[in-house]
Each structure stands twice: as C-alpha cells, then as structure tokens.
Structure 1
Amino acid sequence: MRWRSGRQSSNIEDRRQLGTGAKVGGIGVIIMALIGLLMGADPMQMLGMVGKEFLGGGTQTVSSRRVAGNDEEAKFVSTILADTEDVWTPMFRQMGGRYTPPKLVLFTDQINSACGYSTAATGPFYCPGDNKVYIDLGFFNELKALGAEGDFARAYVLGHEIGHHVQNELGISQQVSSLQQRMDEANANRLSVLLELQADCYAGVWAHHAQRQRNLLEPGDLEEGLQAAASIGDDRLQRMSGRRINPDAFTHGTSAQRVQWFKTGFQSGNLKTCDTFQALK
C-alpha cells in the first residue's frame, strides 16, 4: 500500500502502557481456550487468547497519548484512520449528512470502554457506546498467523471496524438492536452476522474510494484484503479449532460470505449495494 505519504489522524488515543497485570501461563491459556470452545465461545476470541501467549503480540508500549514517531504499526493505523475520514466525510456530505469520525484507541492486553471490560483476546472491536474503535496491535501478529499477511490485510480489519461506526452513524445498528430485542436467540444472532457482513461491504466501499481518489493500492493488495476476509470466516475458524461447522454459532459469516461482501463494496463503491438484510425483506 502507498500509505506512507498520507496524513495521520488526530483521532488517536494511545493507552498502551507497562504493567497490565499478571498473565496466565501457556498451558493455562490453552486450557482456558479449550473450555471456552466447549462452552460455545467465539472461536476468534479463543484463538486470540492462544495467539497472545505464543505470538508475543501487544508488547510495544509508549508513555504518551500521541503516536510515537518511530512506532511503525501505530503510524500505519493512524494513517489508515485518516484515509477513512477522507472517504466517509464527503460521502456523508453528499447524502446530506455529517460524518463524525470515531476515535481509535490503542491498548495493550486489556481495556475498559463504554462497552465494558475487554481483553486483547476479543480482537479489534467497535464500541457504539463511546464511538471508539479499540485495537491491540498484537492482533496483527495473529492475523498473519491465520494466513493473512500484508498492509492491506491490516487495513481491511480497520476498514471493517470503521464500517461499524458508519452503521452507527446511519442508525442501522440501532435498528438491528431494536429488532433483536423482539427475536429469539437464533434469529437475533442471524441479524448480528448480517450486520458484520455489511461492515465488510463498507470496508470495500472505503477501499474503492481510497483507490480511486488516492491510488492507495499496489498490485497484490486487493488479494491481501480478500485473503484476510477469508482467513477469519467463522467456518474456517471453527474448523481450525477442531469443531464441527455450526452455522448457529457464527458471529461474522463464512469465509465465502465475507469475501463476497467485501468484493461487492469494493467493486461498486456504493453503500446501496451493501444491503445484506435484503434477503429478510
């Protein structure tokens, strides 16, 4: 990706710090992960627990709230965040609205947000309660271990989380939450998956405009994004964890679905093509 010449966002909160507390040893992490899987926990979270222990992610620290000048990964996410701002702000203006960019919070190991206490095992997440995206940069090591390498693989992950913020800005998240309160668990979970797939599509929309306006992508970058989408599909993660494929336990959609919706957004650059809920109408 041609990201180094881009501006960095001012909407960064760097909360990484030393002394995040005692950690469970390697065997303990594996046991906890296996118990979690048996109890129906999200496979991505459980793989994250093991990845944090054995891949050594999230150990980089800084003392200030600004991104350190020699902190390559932090500079990368700050630059990609700025690019999403430069895409979504004019798009909202064209729709007659106003885009309020989210804050992106860098943390190490654990964090408290308006959505409660979370660990790095959760993976990157968006909290609508405070309009912030949270990420432990060690997740990029886990992403690589899952077979998704390269700058654009990481940018896709950020684009997906910003996609959730776009959903929140458009009121889609609130509509889905209201519907889920009147549904049984299976149908409510199905809506959650469709919401995640739409965020994949929105990531594609961002990438479309970033490429069109700033020629951000280099040869092979699109393939990196598609590989990232495929690598973190629910079916693949369940298979990697030794479980049978159980659609009722999906949280983000299959590898094929994630690739399909990212490609849909990338090819069209149009939010209207990202109606993953169309099948329910």
Structure 2
Amino acid sequence: MRWQGREESDNVEDRRGNGGGLGRGGMRGGGLGGPGFRVVKGGGVSGIVIMGVIALVLWMAGINPLPILFGDGSIQSTQGSGSYSGGGATAPRADDEAAKFSRVVLKETEEVWSGIFQAAGQTYKKPVLVLFDGQVKSACGFAGAASGPFYCPGDSKVYIDLSFYNELDKRFGASGDFAHAYVLAHEVGHHVQNLLGILPKFNQMRQSMSEAQSNAMSVRVELQADCFAGVWGKYTEQKGLLEQGDLEEALNAAHQIGDDTLQKRSQGYVVPESFNHGTSEQRAKWFKRGFDTGKVDACDTFNNPV
C-alpha cells in the first residue's frame, strides 16, 4: 500500500505510555477478537483527599498537577507554556512508524466515508483513533491489549495497541501493510454501523436474546464490518494506492482471524455455536464482496445468506 507521504488524520489520541484507568460500563461495537470488557471500580474519600494534597503541593511548587493526576503523565509548569518529562529528550518510539501509518489509514477512511455519506445526503461524523499501550479505558469499560483492536460506540472511538500489528505478522501469519489497514478499516466499519443505527439496534436486541442467538447476530454484524472495510478498499484501489499483492494480504488476514481458524489454532477443534465473528471463508467472502462492488448496499448481511 502506497501510504508514505500521505496526509495524516488529526483525529487521534495518543495515550501510549499513560498506563490505564477506570472505565464506565457499556456495550462494545466489536473487534477482531471479540473482547468483552469489565467495569473496574475504585477510588473513595481517602483517595480523593490524598490526591487533593498532592495537587496542592505540586501547584505550590509551580507545577500543573492536572496532567500528572489525570492526563498525559508529563510535567507541565504553571509558570510557562513548556513541558518536560524530567528525564531529558527521549528517542523516537519503535512503533512511531506504525502510529504514522495508522493516522494515514484513518485519514483515508475519513475521505472515503465522508464522500459516501455526502452522496447519500448525510454528514459523516469522523471517529477518533486511540493509540494505547497495554491497557486503556473507554466508555465501554476497561480493556487490555489482549482484547485486540475494538470500537466503542459509547464514545465513537477506535482503540488499538500498535503491538497488534506484530501479532498479526507473527502469531496469525497475516503480514503486510494492507492487512494492517484492513484491521483499522474493519473497526471504522463498526463506526459506520453505529452512525447508521445498526449497532444501537443490535445492542438493544441482544439483551433479550439467548447466547446462541446473540452469537449468530454478532456474526452478521462483524461480516458487515468486513464488507464495509472492503468498500473502503475499493476506493483505495481507485486512488491508485494499492500495490500488487495488497488484496491478497487483506484476504489472508480475514482468513487467519476467522472463528474456525482461531479455534483450531488455539484448541484443536471448533465449536460453531460459539462463533461470533464468522468463519474464515465468510470473512474473506464479505470483504471481497465489498471490494468488488464498492457499494454499501451490497453489504446487507442481515437479509442475505452469510
């Protein structure tokens, strides 16, 4: 994929190095690994008093305590506009290239989906991409890197620990920049579903569904996100950004993260009734369908056999 030198999105929150935090409960929008989030509770009167004392001491010393207690972890003087980490200049992060790549891909999705929505007489509300290390808080709860990339409809944000790209390469055998782009495009596909009202309806419906029914419906939701990712891929191809082998990279990634392939790899057998993302064949099929047609209407996984 020809992404170097292209414009990057500004809709990115870089929380790498910030640790984690507490989150609020909510319904997830989906992810490659189907994470479920837990609500972490904490705090109390004594904790608030201690934080207040620390804040007062820092402020009297001329240091803004807010970033330290609640924000990006940097130390900011209340007497100037500069900031410093206390340890001098730091070398570029090993994953800065991956962060830049992710910003470029997000920008490409913004342009494509803005155009599609505009053609339909609607306005595309852009999602925010959150980069994190290890653990993160969202409106959908508290999640770790093991959950994989995910979209949270509660705050309209896509979350990814950039180490997942390495996981795709080494653990899943799905290497290549367009395979990585497919990951983000899939999560942005969930954002499109949220804007179209599909995710809210699904999250409401599944409260009264059995586990088997919920899993079956989740498969259709995930396959539609794959198809939407394919639609984005089609427009990316039309821009001349794809290189030979890119489509195969994305199809291989879709195949490698199918429920059946993942279960065979992890436990040696499959349990079809537990599938909630779709088989390898289904995921590749629906991505290809979106890619071949470039049409949102072709991605109706709810009224067609999957």
> Is the TM-score greater than 0.5?
yes
Contact 1:43 / 1:237 at 8 angstroms: preserved in 2? Answer: no
Alignment of 1:136-175 (within 5 A): 136-145=161-170, 146-175=172-201
- TM-superposed deviation, 1:5: 2.7
Letter of the 2:230 counterpart: G
Contact 1:44 / 1:237 at 8 angstroms: preserved in 2? Answer: no
Which residue is 1:236 aligned to?
261
Letter of the 2:299 counterpart: C
Contact 1:43 / 1:238 at 8 angstroms: preserved in 2? Answer: no
- TM-superposed deviation, 1:45: 7.2
Task: Output the CA distance in 1 between the equivalents of 2:120 and 2:261.
Answer: 37
Q: Could you say what secondary structure the match of 2:267 adopts?
A: coil
Deviations 1:60-105 (A, max 9, x none): xx979xxx79821000000000000010001001111110110000
In our comparison, the structure showing a higher alpha carbon Rg is 2
Contact 2:150 / 2:159 at 8 angstroms: preserved in 1? Answer: yes
Identify the match of residue 126 of structure 2 among 82, 93, 101. 101
Q: Could you say what secondary structure the match of 1:241 adopts?
A: helix
Letter of the 1:173 counterpart: L
Contact 1:229 / 1:258 at 8 angstroms: preserved in 2? Answer: yes
Which residue is 1:57 aligned to?
none
- TM-superposed deviation, 1:19: 6.0
Task: Output the CA distance in 2 between the equivalents of 1:245 and 1:13.
Answer: 38
Alignment of 1:40-51 (within 5 A): 44=33
Letter of the 2:188 counterpart: I
Deviations 1:34-54 (A, max 9, x none): xxxxxxxx99479xxxxxxxx
- TM-superposed deviation, 1:128: 0.2
Which residue is 1:124 aligned to?
149
Q: Could you say what secondary structure the match of 1:251 adopts?
A: coil
- TM-superposed deviation, 1:183: 2.1
Identify the match of residue 260 of structure 1 among 285, 294, 303. 285
Deviations 1:174-228 (A, max 9, x none): 122222223222111111111000000000000101111x211000000000000
- TM-superposed deviation, 1:18: 6.2
Task: Output the CA distance in 2 between the equivalents of 1:189 and 1:13.
Answer: 31
Which residue is 2:97 aligned to?
72
Task: Output the CA distance in 1 between the equivalents of 2:287 and 2:271.
Answer: 23
Task: Output the CA distance in 2 between the equivalents of 1:133 and 1:142.
Answer: 18
Identify the match of residue 299 of structure 2 among 261, 274, 281. 274
Deviations 1:94-138 (A, max 9, x none): 111110110000000000100000000000000000000000000
- TM-superposed deviation, 1:7: 0.4
Task: Output the CA distance in 2 between the equivalents of 1:150 and 1:179.
Answer: 37
Task: Output the CA distance in 2 between the equivalents of 1:72 and 1:259.
Answer: 27
- Quick check: 1:17 aligned with 2:17? yes
Letter of the 1:17 counterpart: G
- Quick check: 1:216 aligned with 2:241? yes
- RMSD across aligned positions (CA): 2.4
Contact 1:84 / 1:206 at 8 angstroms: preserved in 2? Answer: yes
Q: How many correspondences in the alignment? A: 242
Task: Output the CA distance in 2 between the equivalents of 1:199 and 1:105.
Answer: 19
Instruction: Give the structure with the higher percent helix.
Output: 1
Structure 1 residue runs of 4 or more that deviate by more than 3 Å after TM superposition: 18-21, 42-46
Contact 1:208 / 1:269 at 8 angstroms: preserved in 2? Answer: yes
Contact 2:34 / 2:276 at 8 angstroms: preserved in 1? Answer: no
Q: Could you say what secondary structure the match of 1:135 adopts?
A: strand
Task: Output the CA distance in 2 between the equivalents of 1:69 and 1:119.
Answer: 20
Q: Could you say what secondary structure the match of 1:134 adopts?
A: strand
Q: 1:187 to 1:195 in 2, by over 3 A?
A: same
Task: Output the CA distance in 2 between the equivalents of 1:4 and 1:69.
Answer: 18
Q: Could you say what secondary structure the match of 2:208 adopts?
A: coil
